[in-house]
Amino acid sequence: MIIRPLGPTDAVAYQQLRLRALEENPTAFSSSPADESSRSMEDVAERITPLADGSKCNFGAFIDSQLVGLLTLIRPMRVKRMHCVDLAGMVVASELRRHGVGGALLDAVIVHARAMDGVRQMKLSVTASNVAARTLYQSRGFVCFGVEPDALFVGGSFHDEAFYMLRL
């Protein structure tokens, strides 16, 4: 498995895997297939192009040159929030879950964040009922600091969202 930052040439693979994840796991994301499917490949390529300073970077996990996992790191640009980075959009192809892909992605992003000057903590949110994801985050030292009840409304049901942080 290779973990690396994505770039514009990965746009098609990124969009395919992301749309698949949104379809297969509608409660795991705040975006929906309707939100994302109308994006042009140019928009997707721009979205996944890393910033030179590493403050926005989409990481991909590849097995045999196939994109099988995604994780995005975003550093806020406001001075008062630059000590934090946010993680978003964790995706692992359903057939490869529980095979170390998510852990490898998370480990690579933690290493990247630790190398960023002034970054002290990472934050993320996850659907509270997603025990596998929560277990993965906790295994890397993330601690839950709150739950927002009824944060997402999907398919006629409300879902709570748990918030986690990791001090670096």
For residue 85, the domain's CATH number is: 3.40.630.30
Q: What is the pLDDT along the chain (168 residues), one digit of tens a residue?
A: 999 999 999 999 999 999 999 999 888 888 888 888 888 899 999 999 988 888 899 999 999 999 999 999 999 989 999 999 999 999 999 898 999 999 999 999 999 999 999 999 999 999 999 999 999 999 999 999 999 999 999 999 999 999 999 999
Can you give the pTM of this predicted structure?
0.91
Instruction: Give the residue among 124, 31, 121 at the shortest CA–CA distance from 72.
Output: 124
Joined together, the tokens standing for residue 111 give: 């290493």
In-domain check, residue 33: yes
Is residue 94 assigned to a domain? yes
56 occurs within a structural domain? yes
Taking the mean position of all CA atoms in its chain, how far away is CA 128?
Answer: 16
Sequence-distant (≥ 6) Cβ neighbours of residue 154 within 8 angstroms: 26, 27
In-domain check, residue 165: no
Whether 136 is covered by a domain: the verdict is: no
Q: Find the helix or strand (DSSP H, E) in which 1 lies.
A: none
Q: Domain range holding 88?
A: 2-123
Q: How many domains does the chain have?
A: 1
Whether 98 maps to a domain, the answer reads yes
Judge whether 62 lies within some domain.
yes
| Residue 46 lies inside a defined structural domain of this protein | yes
